[in-house]
Amino acid sequence: MSRIDLKKDEEDSAVVLRAAEQFADLLGAKPGSVSSIRARKEGWVADVEIALTERCPRTTSIKATYSVTLNSRGELRSYRRTRRYTPGEGI
């Protein structure tokens, strides 16, 4: 991979991470992590992990995975919740 490709990948990753943070703000939730990113012709699809409620002990917190679709500028186009779970729960 060339330096140019690496730079583009870093820029793309930054766009997706910013979008994930904005998505969490939209939900009024604590930002989580991006567990996958898939490039599309018109942008990206990212799986974003969000903490819906934080509780003690941590195993009783509620988290969710959302599939987030972004356009080529990193703007939110659509989202849907694909999973809701507690951290101690198996897949």
Segment 49-67, tens digit of pLDDT: 998 887 777 677 889 999 9
Full residue range of the structural domain in which residue 20 is found: 3-85
Q: What confidence tens digit (pLDDT) does each residue in 26-57 have?
A: 888 877 889 898 988 888 999 999 988 877 77
Closest by CA to 39, choosing from 66, 83, 8, is 8
| pTM score | 0.78
Tell whether 91 is covered by a domain: no
Q: How confident is the model at residue 85 (pLDDT cuts 50, 70, 90)?
A: very high
Question: What's the per-residue H, E or C state across 28-60?
Answer: CCEEEEEEEEEEECCEEEEEEEEEEECCCCHHH
Tell whether 90 is covered by a domain: no
CATH of the domain at 66: 3.10.450
> DSSP code of 87?
T
pLDDT of residue 30: 79
Tell me whether the omega of the peptide bond preceding residue 31 falls within 30 degrees of 0, making it cis. Answer: no
Is residue 67 exposed (0-12), middle (13-18) or buried (19+ Cβ within 10 Å)?
A: middle
Q: How many domains does the chain have?
A: 1
Tell whether 75 is covered by a domain: yes
State mean pLDDT over 61-82: 91
